[in-house]
Chains A and B, each alone.
Chain A
Amino acid sequence: MFKVLNWHIKEKIGYLEISNPPSNPMDSIFFEEFYWWRTEIVEKAEIDSVIIHGKGRHFSSGAVLNDLLGIINRSYEHGKDIKKISEFLNKNSQIFYSLKELKIPVIAAVRGVCIGSAFELALCADYIVCGEKAVLGLPETSFDIMPGCTGTYVLPKIVGKALAMELILTGKTFFPAEALDWNLIQKVVPTKQVLDYATNIAKNLASKFTEDLKLI
């Protein structure tokens, strides 16, 4: 059904795996398939929670910069205007953010690298569990751009303006222990236990879940 996503259901939990190893980058195909999954599949599935994770050692290295720059510049050179391409790309933000409109809990199970758009996707989940050695962050400004897929909106809501500003402008990556201190993620477990823990949390949350928990 998908090229870079795997979707399967087990015991009423839907598992969405980003599957383009080793780093599971978010290329144009990813965004197309994710849109399709969100608009056509997840709400029709008989599930009471969703777990998003990456195949293998990493969650995802985020959007493919050259892909994005290519699309934006081709559009810009054509019309000398960023309006059209901006409207097109804004769909990606809306679809990430729309995880919060699902009436079931969404859990991000993060192992390894989870940076840029991948971290933005995780931040749109209701619960983030990380492996001890996960690497998190929004490094976009180090590449002369900025987070463009919900990060600048969501991060200040969770950690406040000061820390959001620092994390976004320095672009530094950080570890789950720090992120836990900042209440940016909810749990750190040994890397091998991430998926099992997410499964347990999914079962637990599904029975107690109310939409009020989708706070932001």
Chain B
Amino acid sequence: MKQSKIISWERIGEIGILSISNDKKNYLDQPDFVDLVELENWTKEIDLKGIIIRGIGRNFSAGANTENLQKLANDQNLLFDKMNKGKQILDFIENLNIPVIAAINGACFGGGLEIALACHMRVASKKALLAFPEVNHGLIPGLGGTYRLTQLLGKKSFEVLLNADLINTTEAIKIGLIDYISETKDAFDLAKEKLESMITDRSIEVIHSAMQAIHNSNKLSKEDALKAETELFCKLAVNVKIHKQD
């Protein structure tokens, strides 16, 4: 197992597991909760086909520790710098060309929910609770969460942001904030099952190409996305023939 700040990394076969571990609530002491260079190195490992992000213990993450955040806020430049680094980390996760699934147990608040939203799929245990409580402290989500939430939920995002209410999984799946509810206590099992169904028997090239094309859907113009799709398709098609001739 490798460690960077409050995040540890381990491998189960083709799957990489990022675990958040910081006391019981897995607070994110700093907006840059992992070293980006280390994270990049982990994701470059050979044969890595997917990632699960989870919290150790009963909670995913309760987000920022308000006391810590207030201390940080005393130095505006430092806070700004750290927020930017946090954003870069989440952008990096979101842009990965392998599936990333959040396995959510217990509390998934604030920065915790920001991490979950940067994942490509969210699987939660029945009793998980999600929220952006920032407005209760006179804040808003600061790591891209307002953008990601609106992309995901459309107009329903206003309620989630402005009410700051705790959202249970029944409601969360209804509005589309999570994708699956796990029958077992630990959402990790279902997250792993889902991930395996997507990567087993798939080559790295197919996974990378399909994920890149899917990312392009909301990043590029229609013309560019369709053009990139055809190119990715043709590159894979050339490989199919070469494999057969070997």
Contact = CB atoms under 8 A, between A and B. Distances in A.
Interface of A: 68-69, 72-73, 76, 82-83, 85-86, 89-90, 93-94, 97, 141-148, 150-157, 160-166, 168-170, 172
Interface stretch (B20-28, B33-41, B160-168, B201-209): B201-209
B110 to A, nearest CB: 21
Given A141-B206, A152-B216, A166 B229 contact: no
Given A144-B240, A162-B120, A82 B234 contact: yes
Contacts of B237: 68-69, 72-73, 145, 148
A73 B217 contact: no
B235 A82 contact: yes
A160 B151 CA distance: 9
Label chain B's interface by main secondary structure.
helix
Contacts of B121: 161-162, 165-166
Interface in B202-246: 202-203, 206-207, 209-211, 213-214, 216-218, 222, 225-227, 229-241, 243
Contact of B217 (A82, A156, A166): A156
A162 B226 CA distance: 20
Contacts of A172: 197
A160 B207 contact: no
A93 B194 CA distance: 30
A169 B176 CA distance: 20
A120 to B, nearest CB: 10
Contacts of B179: 162-163
Contact of A69 (B152, B198, B235, B241): B241
B226 A97 contact: yes
28 contacts: A69-B237, A69-B241, A73-B241, A82-B235, A86-B227, A86-B231, A86-B234, A89-B230, A90-B227, A93-B226, A93-B229, A144-B236, A147-B233, A150-B229, A151-B229, A152-B210, A153-B217, A153-B226, A155-B217, A161-B120, A161-B121, A162-B120, A165-B120, A165-B210, A166-B198, A169-B199, A169-B210, A172-B197
A144 B241 contact: no
A144 B203 contact: yes
Contacts of A142: 201
B243 A153 contact: no
A161 B216 CA distance: 11
Contacts of A72: 234, 237-238, 241
A73 to B, nearest CB: 4
Contacts of A168: 210, 214
B55 interface: no
Interface in B170-206: 176, 179, 194, 197-199, 201-203, 206
A151 B218 CA distance: 13
Contacts of A152: 210, 213-214, 216-217, 225, 229
B152 A160 contact: yes
B122 interface: yes
Nearest to B239: A144
A-B interface, 8 closest residue pairs, ranked by CB to CB distance from nearest = A148-B233, A152-B213, A169-B198, A162-B121, A82-B234, A156-B217, A90-B230, A72-B237
B63 interface: no
A97 B223 CA distance: 10
A146 B239 contact: no
A118 B225 CA distance: 19
A110 B142 CA distance: 46
B207 to A, nearest CB: 7
Nearest to B199: A169
Contact of B233 (A83, A145, A154, A166): A145
Nearest to B213: A152
